[in-house]
Amino acid sequence: MSATQPVALVTGAARRIGAAIARRLHREGYAIALHYRASGEDARVLVEELETARPGSTLLLQADLAEFDRLPELVARTVGQFGRMDALVNNASAFFPTPFGETTPAQWDALSAVNLRAPFFLSQAAAPHLARTGGAIVNIADIHGERRPLPGHAVYGMGKAALLYMTRALALELAPAVRVNAVAPGAILWPEGGKDRGEREAMLAMTPLARTGTVDEVASAVCWLLRGASYTTGEVLRIDGGRSLK
């Protein structure tokens, strides 16, 4: 690969929104370090696809982001493979309900480790490398981290709210060398376990554009924040069809 080819580390890149981000950045000329935890087969299929398009442009990284020591390792392996780092996309997320009155410390730790601790310490490890290339960080948050709490998911929402605070804090800490922004998706993909039809209809009724978004629309927003938004830092870009207006 060229010494000037940009390099992005994308966490949770094997499937869904993460895979769309990886594909979009790869089309834009990035070499991609694809992190996954358990979706090994999906990750390998994606790597094969990207390698077919441009040989030598990917690195596959398996890690449980709840294991603290693996976080700086992901950054080190990315830089070791490609010689530089231009972008960090903190996309990986843990999501499950924590009804108040039934929440356990283990659930708190599991959600917080992936949704908040990992993005912070990955950013800390990546920052010196990103500063050398004038790079950027994009955190994938959630509109429920800002205005409208999601019933039964307090711990998840608190983590995403803290991730947005972290975005603003690091934007100040790392300026002017590194820009830090966030994308807050709305209804993009329904939960893999399914969602009641009535709940879907109610959610779309609160969405002025009256449809779900697509993973490609989120990926386009991430790409713009990394490549085009050169005078933007500390901001949250809501990809929610206007739902946060209601």
Cis link prior to 176 (omega < 30° from 0)? Answer: yes
Catalytic residue among 30, 36, 156, 165: 156
Q: How far is CA 143 from CA 164, 184, 208, in A?
A: 10, 5, 15
Residue 191 burial (CB < 10 Å; 0-12/13-18/19+)? exposed
Q: Token pair 């999601």 is at which residue?
A: 150
Provide the 8-state DSSP code for 98. B
Instruction: Tell how strand 87-90 and strand 236-239 pair up.
Output: unpaired
Annotated catalytic residue 36: no
Distance CA 133, CA 226 (A): 12
User: One-letter amino acid identity for 54?
Assistant: R
User: One-letter amino acid identity for 197?
Assistant: R
Q: Are the beta carbons of 143 and 238 closer than 8 angstroms?
A: yes
Which residues are catalytically annotated?
A: 156
